[in-house]
Structure 1
Amino acid sequence: MITNVSLVSVWVKDLDESLAFYTDVLGFAAGDDIMLGEDFRWVTVTHPSQPELQLHLTTPSKPLSDDLISAMQRAQLDGGMPGLGLQVDDCRATVDDLRAKGVEFLQEPLDRPYGVEAVMRDNSGNWMVLVEPREFTPQDFEGVTFD
């Protein structure tokens, strides 16, 4: 029986730079940093309030095909890789704090039926959604469009 999600991979451009971004900028804690063979490094981070969920920071590499590696690297350069949804307690204050640390925002905080939402990129171009949640019902979405 599956009991929970314990690991999610995030595709990054550079392991050292991403480890620093996730720990120094976003406030995650460093986890494993292990060399497995000559050319594979296993790097994880966890959030202090959710240590049972590890983020595996990894670069597009073997055993993926050369075509897939190339496509993923192009998507990273274009800033088009999906990333994470992060829950925050105050979206506007979190945006101000992260912007002061140099984080690029694609969408300023907006009121949505489900809460306040902002969209940023990590240092590898992954989209990350910050959401300050609030209770909602399906009716709260009637007539709502998203641009």
Structure 2
Amino acid sequence: MPQFISAISLIVPDYDQGIEFYVGLMGFELIEDTYLSEDKRWVLVAPPGSTETRLLLAKAENEAQEEIIGEQAGGRVFLFLETYDFDEDIALMERAGVDIIEEPRVESYGKVAVFRDPFGNKWDLIERH
């Protein structure tokens, strides 16, 4: 029986700030934004065309969660965004002011650049050969 990861929880300081960056700046699709209570929402975003894995933007609920915002991977690259048009996507990110922390380079597997979201999470943008 096939399985897949449907969502990865990404802790953010505020739901709307997360939506503003991922949907407004990065061009992700807002898949769902459901209010579960006065303080809790179910917010799913995904890159355009993504059919399985989504990011669940989870608002930090306490001090311990606030402290790990941007550090869920212990300082390593946490998420990997694959593209079929690296040059266009990196140019869009640069124009939008996304924090590119490692300039684009060519590796044995393809083109890659490391960027950081406004919450401190490191991402790889990758176009495989």
Q: Same fold (TM over 0.5)?
A: yes
1:111 maps to 106
Aligned residues: 128
**Counterpart Cα distance in 1 of 2:90 and 2:116:** 12
Show structure 1 runs of 5+ residues with no match: 135-147
Larger Rg: 1
Q: Give 1:49's aligned amino acid.
A: G
- Superposed CA deviations along residues 90-138 of structure 1, whole A, max 9, x for unmatched, are 323322211101101000111111111100011211111001102xxxx
| Post-superposition offset of 1:73 | 4.2
TM-score (norm 1): 0.74
Identity value in percent: 33
Structure 1 residue 100 corresponds to structure 2 residue 100: no
Show structure 2 runs of 5+ residues with no match: none
Question: Whose helix proportion is higher, 1 or 2?
Answer: 1
Note the aligned Cα RMSD (angstroms): 2.4
Task: Spell out the pairing of 1:1-147 with structure 2 (5 A cutoff).
Answer: 1=1, 3-61=3-61, 66=63, 68-73=64-69, 75=71, 80=75, 82-134=77-129
Q: Give 1:127's aligned amino acid.
A: K
**Counterpart Cα distance in 2 of 1:27 and 1:111:** 24
Q: Give 2:20's aligned amino acid.
A: A
